[in-house]
Amino acid sequence: MKRMLAIAGVVTVAGAGAAFAMHVTQVDPATVPTGFLAAHNKVEGIRIASLARAVDDGKADVFVQHVSFTANQDTGWHSHPGPVFVQVVKGSLIYEDALHGKCRRITYTAGEGFFDRGFGHVHHAVAGPEGAEFYPVYVLPPGSTTHLIPGATPPAECTSPPRGDDDDDEGEEHADDEGDEDDDE
C-alpha cells in the first residue's frame, strides 16, 4: 500500500515539478504521442525514506526523461540529488552498484525497472547488446540544479574483477537486497 501511495505521489507531483525544471530543455508535449510511455513495469527496491527526503513541504522537482542507448553504451559512474524510478521499455539495462561489500550487477529487461535511492548513491548502467530504451523519473528536492551528478568514483567493490559467480547477480531474481534501512547515504 505504501508503494502505491508513493507512486501515486510521484505521478501527482510530476505535473507541478515539470514547471520548476526550467534548467533543462523540455520536449514540446505536442511532439509526444498520447498514451502510456510505460505501463505495468515491475519496479523494485522502492524506498519510502528516499522519497520522503526529497520532498520538502509537500513539494519536489520532478523530471521525466526518455533515454535511448546504443548497444553497450554506459552512463558512467554517477549519482543523483534524489531518488529515481527507472522503467526499461526496450532492450536491456545492466545496473551496477555496491551492496553489503559486494559489487552487484543486475540485468533489467523491457517491462522491468528499478529504484535508485539517490543522495550520493554511486552506480552506473550499461545497455545490453541490443541497446536500451528507458524512462527515468527523478524526484528531486526543490531547487535542485541538476538531475545528474557525473564523474563519481566507482565503489571499491566494483573496481576489481569479479572473484566468481557469487559476486555477479546478473540474471538472478531482482530481490530488494537493500532491506528496510533508513540510511540513504
Using DSSP's 3-state secondary structure scheme, residue 146 falls into coil
Residues 44-58 pLDDT 10s:
999 999 999 999 999
pTM above the 0.75 mark? Answer: yes
Fold of 2-26+38-167: Jelly Rolls (2.60.120)
Residues 90-124 pLDDT 10s:
999 999 999 999 999 999 999 999 999 999 999 99
Which candidate, 62, 98, 69, places its Cα nearest to that of 83?
A: 62
Confidence category of residue 165, pLDDT binned at 50, 70, 90: very low
Using DSSP's 3-state secondary structure scheme, residue 143 falls into coil
Provide the 10 A C-beta neighbour count for residue 41: 18
Confidence category of residue 163, pLDDT binned at 50, 70, 90: low
Report yes or no: 122 and 152 within 8 Å, Cβ to Cβ: yes
